[in-house]
Structure 1
């Protein structure tokens, strides 16, 4: 189902994809209770770091962050606060190597690491919750939708639906978009953060990970070819992107899911705005607000909330009917 005109209408000064994408990371602070931390072991002798917000609810929201993000980014904390206020317990998790703690294995995280999300989901359900909703931002949105598609008909009946914001469901096209000269400010920041991480990995695993000449990398094509693909069992960047893009799998989702991508998002390719029901399937609703940028959707609300949080709360409420 396609909704061409959701109701998000920001002030005039926020009607820019670049302003929307940059403003929250620079100026937003979210007051929320201190979460309870937990370390979840994996089968390959690694670990995932979790943040819990609990209030003895019977329903749980699982939140997945974006590329080089973590569980305490303002957009995660903002949604955690909004859902907590509506009676949900919240579990925000960190991808491997994120959240300031390096993981133990050579692998780190990628857009199709659904096995880790499944471990988090199963751990959450094991706590006795009757209902679960999933939410993801950017890479975490692609991961969430891909996970639901892989589960398809076999999905646990307690998982009632999901929402994703700023979802690069066409990974190859989005990588090309970010490689444009006009997107250099974003690409440079991602590569700066990834370089620090890969240098840590190189010290962990000398001889396996080589970061020499990292400063010559200019795009995700070069980074994923050199690091992401070989460390995670893909032939090359193109194989990784093709295998892990949610776009071709949306039709396999069997629970109510919403994908919200702003038309002015500077990270997304044209294919990240599908309207053909043959692509989206019967259970995925796509919404393309005119404004919002990448993980922006800024709003000057009295309670400090953003439009994306109100949209997520509304969708999660509909799952309980």
Structure 2
């Protein structure tokens, strides 16, 4: 039987290293030769492997100025460092604050999401990136609405979009099917992705939804020279009363996003116990309008957000120019470059405030939180440039047993993205779903929080 020999170069190396010493047993030399052959063969294969890996890295990974080994080490080192930083400094449990132990315990038991670590999408956890990307990366669930126009006392009309959910299995009777009232943000409508996701969550729970669209933003004709603002809750009151009359036996709760949340908080502060709402959840609300506008006027945030939102407000004014120019200097309004300038030239004048500062004070929910008598959960991100962390009303919440504040370290403004590719539900959606279910199914535990 022929024995396979190592390559000639290996044979020469063996010959040079292992000449037989007189008197040394041949068996010992054979064992050493076999061990050396194995090690040289291993070295030979390892050299081939590292050569091939080096060639792959230089052509595929392109880390090459210092050699593929160093480049790979840098990549692995950076990845490990980033992972450690993310797990230590980014992924954290939210802070839950409540003015009463009863509401605090209710949320801990019925809404486990308030106690879970929030893991923002690891490649876009920064505040501005979350805020900017959310409308583009999150999917828009298909929702078919039934539109209704409600007449207001001043001759105007308010557009509401109903999702009746007649296929509900858990609540088949429309008369008693729970209703969720949704309020979009500053220029938002029922077609915003965050509204559609809340409708989807409500559909899964068997609930009905109705979306309150502010005047003039959802395509309806503006019949009177009046739009909307965060301080004025007259249209919201009309819609809530209309929903209650339409389904008198159905419980109602509400959810507001950004300015919609501010309007809801202002409404509750004014109404006290005189409301049919069983509970309220508010997302990314601006609690102090002075601090919010100051934050948005910083150079980067003015460039990224303020100018865009101002142009959206102006576009809405332009669409309804024929009816608005009878009462306001629209040319002057269209020259505004910030939200503050727009409010000074248009909003505060429309709603009869002596100065814009008077309007901003009245629009800030922080001044009315002590009068809220309905269980209200508020979700804010500490890095939200629209509502800076130092203006989040922690102390005011501690003084009212009907309030609870959930603060995440990250999430931006209506961002709260999570998962590797955040196409579906966000952390905000999970908070909404669990709280809505708790209000409708365990709401008897929320009586007499005071």
SS across alignment from 2:330: coil
Match of 1:45 in 2: 155
The answer as to 2:225 corresponding to 1:111 is no
Give the CA RMSD over aligned residues.
2.1
Match of 1:281 in 2: 400
Match of 2:337 among 210, 218, 242: 218
The answer to whether the 8 A contact 2:273-2:374 is kept is no
The answer to whether the 8 A contact 2:369-2:396 is kept is no
Q: Deviations over 1:140-198 (max 9, x none)?
A: 00011111111102223xx2110010000211110111111111221111111122222
CA distance in 2, matches of 1:5, 1:237: 40
CA distance in 1, matches of 2:366, 2:321: 33
The answer to whether the 8 A contact 1:7-1:289 is kept is no
Q: Which moved more, 1:2-11 or 1:258-267?
A: 2-11
CA distance in 2, matches of 1:277, 1:224: 27
Match of 2:59 in 1: none
SS across alignment from 1:264: coil
The answer to whether the 8 A contact 1:265-1:292 is kept is yes
Match of 2:258 in 1: 138
Deviation of 1:29 after TM superposition, in Å, equals: 2.6
The answer to whether the 8 A contact 2:378-2:406 is kept is yes
Match of 1:9 in 2: 119
SS across alignment from 1:8: coil
Q: Deviations over 1:27-64 (max 9, x none)?
A: 32322331111111111111111111113352100000
Gaps of 5+ in 2: 1-95, 99-113, 167-173, 443-450
Distance 1:230 1:280, change over 3 A: farther
Larger Rg: 2
CA distance in 2, matches of 1:7, 1:280: 26
Match of 1:169 in 2: 287
The answer to whether the 8 A contact 1:5-1:289 is kept is no
Structure with the larger helix share: 2
Q: Deviations over 1:72-98 (max 9, x none)?
A: 110111111111211210001210111
- Equivalent residue pairs, number: 319
Deviation of 1:222 after TM superposition, in Å, equals: 1.4
TM-score normalised by structure 1 residue count: 0.93
More relative contact order, 1 or 2 (CA 8 Å, 6+ apart): 1
Distance 1:175 1:279, change over 3 A: farther
TM-score normalised by structure 2 residue count: 0.67
